[in-house]
Amino acid sequence: MINFVCKLISIMARLKIIFVLLFSTLFGNLLNAQNFKAQLLGGLNVAQVDGDSYGGYNQPGIVGGFGIFRKANEKYNYGFEMLYSQKGSHKKTNEDDPFIFKLRYSYICMPLFVEFKNLGVSLKKVTLRVAVSPNLKIASKVDYGYGWNYNSIKPYEISGLVSINYKFNDQLGIMLRHENSLLSIGNPAQSQFYKVNRRGLYNRLVSFVVSYDLK
């Protein structure tokens, strides 16, 4: 219990530093540059974990936060997001296979992205966003059917993200995203459910996100 509290305090301290640095830097730029815009983001994840021996996007979760982006020119934007994102895995059970297996992970995600615009005459409302996201773990647990237990994975994740975005108007839009861990989030030797040939676990998820640009 003491170790858990110490880890929680350490995580909160790191988050505080990150938030202060990002807010002071980027919101300062917003006040001094009219071509910076803020964006609210919220939606649903459907996730799985590559390497846990079970396939299928069976684990739902929420994703939400905000983004800051700059309109560089007519071809592209660039910026970053600050998101809370739930990931994990959920094995479906049946009469022939009643074994329970669940993974639950929560992260603070900070995608750094480039967004490509003007993809074609018939695609004026569509953009493509490509990002690399450093993610900080804030919770992880596993259930084998005997209740939730702490699951030790790496305190960070690096993921790649691709998003296809459609704008209904100047402010409201919808995003279809695919995200995958670029590096393993766990050591195969640390747990019985890792596939040896995968050498670790990799988050994989699809997200449906509504975006709202602030004026």
Domain residue ranges in the chain: 36-213
Query: Between the CA of residue 177 and those of 70, 167, 172, 189, 207, what are the distances in Å?
Result: 20, 15, 16, 31, 5
Query: Between the CA of residue 161 and those of 26, 82, 138, 202, what are the distances in Å?
Result: 22, 14, 20, 13
Alpha helices in the chain (DSSP H): 2-32
C-alpha to C-alpha distance for 121 and 212, rounded to whole angstroms:
24
Give 123-134 pLDDT, tens digit per residue.
889 999 999 999
Average pLDDT of span 8-12: 51
Give 21-51 pLDDT, tens digit per residue.
555 555 555 545 567 889 999 999 999 988 7
Contact 117/77 with Cβ under 8 angstroms?
yes
* Whole-number pLDDT of residue 23: 52
Average pLDDT of span 56-69: 92
CATH of 36-213, one of 2.40.160.20, 1.20.1250.20, 2.60.40.10, 2.60.120.200: 2.40.160.20
Contact 26/80 with Cβ under 8 angstroms?
yes
pLDDT band at 175 (very low <50, low <70, confident <90, very high): very high
Pairing relationship of beta strands 148-150 and 112-116 according to DSSP bridges: unpaired
Higher pLDDT residue, 21 or 162? 162
* Whole-number pLDDT of residue 50: 85
DSSP secondary structure code for residue 81 in this structure:
E
pLDDT band at 192 (very low <50, low <70, confident <90, very high): very low
Average pLDDT, the chain: 82
